Amino acid sequence: MSYETFVARRHLSRRMKSGFVSLISMISVGGVGVGVMALIVVIGVMSGFDRELKRKIVNVQPHLRIERVGGVEDPEHVLKWIRDKRIPGLKTAASFVEGQAMIRSQTAALGVMVKGIDFEREDLSIYREHMLRGELAFEDTVKSSTARRLFFFKKKSETKYHSVFIGENLARILGVGVGDEVSLIVPFDDGSGAMSLARVKNEKFAVGGIFRLGMNDFDTGLVILGLPSAQKLYRLGEKVTGISLRLADVDQAQPWKYQLRGDFDRSFILRSWYDMNENFFQALQVEKSVMTILLALIVLVAAFNIIATLTMVVMEKTKDIGILRAVGATRGGIRRIFLIEGFSIGFLGVV
């Protein structure tokens, strides 16, 4: 053990026992400890929140979506091309229809995002896991036996009804349950290329299930229905909004987007889940960075307390410093003594 370390240990052990400087040392250790603890806790909470939010988003949204201006006219051709491409880690590829609508019950109405999905090809595990009420087997229609209240909704020659699946919050706002009737209202092109509210389509559905995904945007503003029902609702014929791809590794969505982009003409638009939520995740990153900087300033203030403590120690130990110099200690050696003390106080605070 060097004499610098030995003297620093003696100073610290004696200082912790008595004296005003010892109180300042303890405050310095506590300041560093509180600052570092706050920094670690906040960064951990923010990182955990970021990961959980990402998990919920990628569970619902496509990892990669291929869309075309005006809609994809031959989705089966695109799906076959994707299957032939043999994308590593590709779990599912399915057509989807997406659009805005107003959903209305007997007591309330609300604007929602309607998503028509292929129940046979799409990954529905997330909805099944979070289905609160209704059938676990997603179908484009609801059988009359699904809910006793459907008798008033039944036409003479029909035994099945087009179904929608809605979030828990939306069901509460509309005051509906499984089997209740709701209407989806969408505007359509008046011939001028613009959407007209004067000409709307009003289609009735039955609530086939109620889910809770854990995000207010989805539980309040998302309506799921079968692909054929969505195509009929938006008068698309055989066209779809796009193709959704789900990957085993969601972080591969961006690289595959750039790789596939060259295989499509300019009328196609490729977007990953990150592109769809880029502004949101950037805002989270800015918030995380700002919080880190603010908490780092707290640690910096604690570090200044250590500097102040060392200054007072130097003033208190002036005679001891003189004795050390008299017996041959160098200026560098004395400097290292107090640096060791400062690092020790900081280390104790961090621990």
Q: Report pLDDT digits (tens) over 262-297.
A: 888 888 899 999 988 888 888 888 888 888 888 777
Q: What pLDDT score does 189 carry?
A: 61
Contacts of 229 (CB under 8 A, 6+ apart): 116, 140, 162, 163, 205
pLDDT at 36 over 80: no
Our count of domains for the chain comes to 2
Which band of pLDDT confidence, cut at 50, 70 and 90, is reported for residue 172? very high
Question: Which structural domain range is residue 309 located in?
Answer: 3-53+283-350
Claim to verify: residue 334 and residue 221 sit in the same structural domain? no
pLDDT at 34 over 60: yes
Q: What pLDDT score does 7 carry?
A: 66
Q: Does the residue 61 lie in any domain?
A: no
**In 181-197, which positions are buried (b, 16+ CB within 10 angstroms) versus exposed (e)?**
bbebbbbeeeeeeeeee
Largest alpha-carbon pair distance within the chain? 111
Q: How does pLDDT run across 150-164, given as a tens digit for each residue?
A: 443 344 334 356 889
Mean pLDDT to the nearest integer, 197-202 = 72
Q: What pLDDT score does 183 carry?
A: 92
Q: Does the residue 148 lie in any domain?
A: yes
Q: Does the residue 58 lie in any domain?
A: no
Average pLDDT over the chain, rounded to whole? 78
Residue (of 134, 328, 147, 116) closest to 240 by Cα position: 116
Q: What pLDDT score does 196 carry?
A: 54
State which H helix or E strand residue 109 sits in. Answer: strand 109-117
Q: Name residue 138's amino acid.
A: F
Q: What tokens were used for 348?
A: 């104790």
Q: What pLDDT score does 171 carry?
A: 93
Which band of pLDDT confidence, cut at 50, 70 and 90, is reported for residue 114? very high
Q: What percent of the chain has pLDDT over 70?
A: 76
Integer angstrom CA distances of residue 290 from 183, 297, 335, 350? 46, 11, 36, 21
Q: What pLDDT score does 123 carry?
A: 78
Claim to verify: residue 296 and residue 314 sit in the same structural domain? yes
Beta-bridged to residue 297, according to DSSP, are none
Q: Does the residue 278 lie in any domain?
A: no
End position of a domain, from candidates 255, 273, 291 = 273
End position of a domain, from candidates 273, 296, 328 = 273
Angle at 64 between CA 230 and CA 100, to 5 degrees: 30
Claim to verify: residue 42 and residue 90 sit in the same structural domain? no
Which band of pLDDT confidence, cut at 50, 70 and 90, is reported for residue 214? confident
Claim to verify: residue 26 and residue 153 sit in the same structural domain? no
Contacts of 319 (CB under 8 A, 6+ apart): none
Claim to verify: residue 43 and residue 152 sit in the same structural domain? no
Q: Does the residue 173 lie in any domain?
A: yes
Q: Does the residue 59 lie in any domain?
A: no
Angle at 197 between CA 192 and CA 202, to 5 degrees: 115
Of 13-22, 225-234, 238-247, 335-344, which gets the smallest average pLDDT?
13-22
Claim to verify: residue 140 and residue 15 sit in the same structural domain? no
Q: Does the residue 119 lie in any domain?
A: yes
Euclidean distance between CA atoms 243 and 128, whole angstroms: 22
Q: Which residue has the higher pLDDT, 333 or 190?
A: 333
Q: Does the residue 60 lie in any domain?
A: no
Q: What tokens were used for 217?
A: 């945007």
Write down the residue that tokens 């570090």 correspond to.
Answer: 303
Claim to verify: residue 134 and residue 236 sit in the same structural domain? yes
Euclidean distance between CA atoms 31 and 36, whole angstroms: 9
Q: Which residue has the higher pLDDT, 259 or 325?
A: 259
For the entire predicted model, the pTM comes to 0.68
Which band of pLDDT confidence, cut at 50, 70 and 90, is reported for residue 335? confident
Q: Which residue has the higher pLDDT, 41 or 130?
A: 41
Claim to verify: residue 102 and residue 229 sit in the same structural domain? yes
Mean pLDDT to the nearest integer, 180-189 = 85
Q: Name residue 340's amino acid.
A: I
Q: What pLDDT score does 239 carry?
A: 92
End position of a domain, from candidates 273, 297, 328 = 273
Euclidean distance between CA atoms 323 and 317, whole angstroms: 10
Claim to verify: residue 42 and residue 165 sit in the same structural domain? no
Claim to verify: residue 200 and residue 301 sit in the same structural domain? no
Euclidean distance between CA atoms 151 and 148, whole angstroms: 7
Q: What tokens were used for 330?
A: 């160098």
Of 54-68, 132-146, 159-173, which gets the smallest average pLDDT?
132-146
Q: What pLDDT score does 299 carry?
A: 74
DSSP 137: S
Claim to verify: residue 264 and residue 290 sit in the same structural domain? no
Q: What pLDDT score does 149 carry?
A: 42
Claim to verify: residue 37 and residue 79 sit in the same structural domain? no
Mean pLDDT to the nearest integer, 114-136 = 78
